[in-house]
Structure 1
Amino acid sequence: MNTTKIGWIGLGNMGIPMAGQLITAGYSVTAYNRSKAKESALKEMGAEIALTPAELLEETDVVFVMVSDDQAISEIFGGEEGLLQAKTSDKIIINMSTVSPKISKEMAGRCRDKESFYLDAPVSGSVKQAETGQLVIMVGGEEEIFEKVKPILEKLGKLAMLVGSYGAGNTAKLAINSLLALYAQGLAETVVFANQNGIETADLLNLINNAAIGNIFTKIKGDAIIGDNYKAAFALKHIVKDLGLAKDEGISSPLAKTAYETFKNAEAGYGEEDIIAIIKALK
């Protein structure tokens, strides 16, 4: 049994399997989620439940946060019963959410004022990688704190890398997700073009996946297109948010601008579906 007490906030599609990995690894995990119905799944795995973020931080050593956006981070940290209201110090808070570098820098400073420590550590990968501990984790913050928690991060991912100071992990994630958007739109446009000219989707994807341009993404999302399966592993609305954050950070290249407009226009109709549902907007 690992003696470090873990707190987990955010039990969405990624949060539940990631927290479950830590329970399986022998850590004592206490969870908090704004939507109480989702807490039962982790409780069945053996987790304890805290009533507030502040209580969670007081009862644990390292707290992971995995929520949707900057607003959620502001509420979790700065709310009336938020993490920053905890009467404690020397705790480590690891924010794994895909949020702006700006808010990470702000929360790092506010944690420092409370004599605790902050890392931004967003992940690359989807539900399957979360379920198997094969995520890629990019971290911003102090090297000493990163080294302390690296063994825990390695239970969640196949690679945990410190890429810079506060906010650097978020910047790296926005860069990767910008490429993800280009992959998705490029694959969708390629399939649409081929179909318009009489090429079957399955035949085209067989060619792609046996060529140098094939990769895990084209295989997984190609299978989704063939199976007409657009259940969200990574919802299209989230890539709109991430491209918007990258835009706010200064990305202005031609492909990035085009992808943002394409996904933004598709969000109303397909936002709750998987990112590769962009193909339906392009047809």
Structure 2
Amino acid sequence: MSNMASAPHLPQSESRAVGWIGVGKMGGPMARNLLDSGVGLTVVEPDSGNRAKLAEKGAKTADCARDLRDMQVVFSTLPNDDALMAVVSGETGLIHGLPRGALLVEMSTVSPECSERVAQILSEAGLRYLRAPLSGSTDLAAKAALTVLASGDRAGWDEVLPLIKTFSARQFFLGEGEEARYMKLVLNTLVGAFSAVLSEALAIGASGGLSRADMMEVICESAVASPLFKYKQEAVVNDDYTPAFTVSQMIKDFTLISNAARRNDVPVMTTGLILELYRSASNAGMRDEDFFALVKWQEKLSTR
């Protein structure tokens, strides 16, 4: 396992043309950081506005994944399992265009089961596969401060690490299979739980007359302080749940977590309860708010 600091502008010898599929909220700022390092980039993206933003930065565009036929390295940041399967093996998918030996660096949050299928499909097509899901927010993506969790083709990892360093601050290689997918689920389990537990803790404190500002100040200077709590402190105090990661996205991730646990016969009673909390908040109209809106939802439940 390796943890490495970010790199400066790429030397000319390491610059190359690469493909990128999906340049939305996360993929967009990551791709821009890669462009800023001097890498030639061709993007595939259904949203015309997102395409235009990258084209203004110097990226070329392609209509579909199959059109990235000259690329030896392709990154993808996609919303779910179905999107990944379509990009890889659909009618206009990568397996119909990429040259043998090319590498897919797949950075989405998808199920380990889907990732296993992708690995088999790519292997049969003579293509290499690196799982590289991300930990971090859209703000961290813009600052090139993401954490990359990788597993799969080790030679491919060594090959693309200089590129990955252009949009991340920390990088971990975890194994040659689906380890990175599971590590992503581990982190998201904890992240989602933090919001759920904090919301109940603050409700208890409020019932005893404590202000939210005082509670968050003490929490962030206590033994239970965390970078996540400090990052969310101002938003929680001000009741500002402008989304960095939405309730609906957390529902998606906790569903992946629950399904992976069930598949591997791991009992996760607490995780199941947290998933239902997010579903309840979504049903209460908070679907598109930041996942720390559980604080607001819990407050409404607790108001006497």
Show structure 2 runs of 5+ residues with no match: 1-11, 300-304
1:101 aligns to 2:117 (yes or no): no
Name the counterpart of 1:10: 22
Name the counterpart of 1:34: 46
- Matched residues in 2 for 1:142 and 1:77: separation? 17
Name the counterpart of 2:57: 45
Name the counterpart of 1:253: 268
- Aligned residue type for 1:7: G
Q: How far off is 1:87 after superposition?
A: 5.3
SS in 2 for 1:164: coil
Match of 1:270 among 286, 294, 304: 286
- Matched residues in 1 for 2:64 and 2:277: separation? 39
Match of 1:153 among 164, 170, 173: 164
Name the counterpart of 1:217: 228
RMSD: 1.4
Name the counterpart of 1:73: 84
Name the counterpart of 2:243: 232
- Matched residues in 2 for 1:30 and 1:190: separation? 47
- Aligned residue type for 1:273: E
Moved over 3 A (4+): none
SS in 1 for 2:129: strand
Q: How far off is 1:135 after superposition?
A: 1.0
- Matched residues in 1 for 2:162 and 2:267: separation? 37
- Matched residues in 2 for 1:234 and 1:73: separation? 20
Q: How far off is 1:265 after superposition?
A: 2.1
Q: Deviation string for 1:89-112 (max 9, x for gaps)?
A: 221101100001111111111111
Name the counterpart of 2:9: none
- Aligned residue type for 1:266: A
- Matched residues in 2 for 1:137 and 1:87: separation? 24
- Aligned residue type for 1:233: A
SS in 2 for 1:231: coil
Q: Deviation string for 1:27-62 (max 9, x for gaps)?
A: 111111122221111111111111111112x13221
SS in 1 for 2:232: helix
Change (3 A) 1:246 1:141: same
Does the Cα contact within 8 Å between 1:235 and 1:272 map onto a contact in 2? yes
Name the counterpart of 1:282: 298
Does the Cα contact within 8 Å between 2:71 and 2:99 map onto a contact in 1? no
- Matched residues in 1 for 2:70 and 2:181: separation? 27
1:55 aligns to 2:70 (yes or no): no
| Structure 1 range deviating more: 177-186 or 73-82 | 73-82
- Matched residues in 1 for 2:92 and 2:122: separation? 15
- Matched residues in 1 for 2:27 and 2:98: separation? 26
Aligned residues: 282
- Matched residues in 2 for 1:253 and 1:146: separation? 32
- Aligned residue type for 1:258: L
- Matched residues in 1 for 2:135 and 2:267: separation? 22
- Matched residues in 2 for 1:252 and 1:17: separation? 37
Show structure 1 runs of 5+ residues with no match: none
Q: Specify which structure has the bigger relative contact order, considering alpha-carbon pairs within 8 angstroms and separated by 6 or more residues.
A: 2
Q: How far off is 1:80 after superposition?
A: 1.4
- Matched residues in 1 for 2:237 and 2:24: separation? 27
- Aligned residue type for 1:63: V
| Structure 1 range deviating more: 93-102 or 31-40 | 31-40
Does the Cα contact within 8 Å between 2:246 and 2:288 map onto a contact in 1? yes
- Matched residues in 2 for 1:94 and 1:154: separation? 13
Does the Cα contact within 8 Å between 1:136 and 1:158 map onto a contact in 2? yes
